[in-house]
Amino acid sequence: MSTLAIDVRGLSKQYGGRAVVDKVDMQVAAGRIVGFLGPNGSGKTTSLRMLCGLLTPDAGEGQVLGLDFRREADAIKRQVGYMTQKFGLYEDLSIRENLDFVARLFSMPKRRAAVDEALQRLGLASRAKQLAGSLSGGWKQRLALAACLLHHPRLLLLDEPTAGVDPKARREFWDQIHALAAEGITVLVSTHYMDEAERCHELVYIAYGTVLARGSAAAIVAEAGARDLEDAFVKLVDRASDNFS
């Protein structure tokens, strides 16, 4: 078996007495692209935030990048790129200024070289002086990914990164994700788009805070006795709803 970039068990988080994430087990092999799917409110974002050390779990054990994900959260943060669904950079700063700010946060010794590399890699060099607030959704997405990659992370956690982005920009984004995985970077990405789910090596489907299915798209469709992936997820939620009603 490949080395596991993520290996956690019993991941749990409650809010107001309600289990938002309930004893989730997750194993992700290094260099793989794993799609994290589920309806709104299913616990995807909460899970991602716990895995990268931004949120303290109520229970759970295991490792992220070989580090205890509860006791060594600060060390994990330095090796993970986390991209939020909502654009989180400064709209009144230029592309270059935003990337330089992120490089400062990571105390990178060769900031200018790192920023130049990120600009070139994501095709942003010609727009380096453009204010982030004036960018389209697709270009903001590129900038956000560039910021995630500045410190050369080993793991990317992407929370619905293509929401509201046009189809062309989505395709280009996924081409970049596959290129990163080919370099050995592990990607855990949440999405609502079925065409994107089918581009993942494996899928994890969560609802009601629990994992209902995992495996390849073809395996999940076959196991659910469904026509396609979307139909499979509908069947999974319908079957699970009886236990949570």
134 found inside a domain:
yes
What are the two backbone dihedrals, phi and then psi, of residue 151, each rounded to the nearest 5 degrees?
-95, 15
- SS3 at position 1: coil
Q: Output the pLDDT for position 239.
A: 86
Residue 214 lies in a domain: no
Report yes or no on 144 lying in a domain.
yes
Residue 215 backbone phi and psi in degrees, to 5: 135, -170
pLDDT digits (tens, 9 = 90+) for 37-64: 999 999 999 999 999 999 999 999 999 9
Q: What confidence tens digit (pLDDT) does each residue in 165-179 have?
A: 889 989 999 999 999
Residue 172 lies in a domain: no
Question: What is the structure's pLDDT at 1?
Answer: 42
Residue 241's pLDDT is 79
Q: Assess if residue 125 is contained within a domain.
A: yes
* 2 within domain boundaries: no
Reported as half-sphere exposure (CB side, CA atoms, 13 A), residue 133 has a value of 4
Rounded mean pLDDT, 129-145:
95
Number of domains making up the chain: 1
**What rounded mean pLDDT belongs to the chain?**
93
If you average pLDDT over residues 209-227, what whole number do you get?
95
The predicted structure's pLDDT at residue 164: 83
Residue 181 belongs to a domain: no
Q: Judge whether 76 and 69 are in contact, CB under 8 Å.
A: yes
- This prediction has a pTM of 0.93
Q: What is the extent of the structural domain holding 128?
A: 81-153
pLDDT above 70 covers a percentage of the chain that reads: 98
In-domain check, residue 116: yes
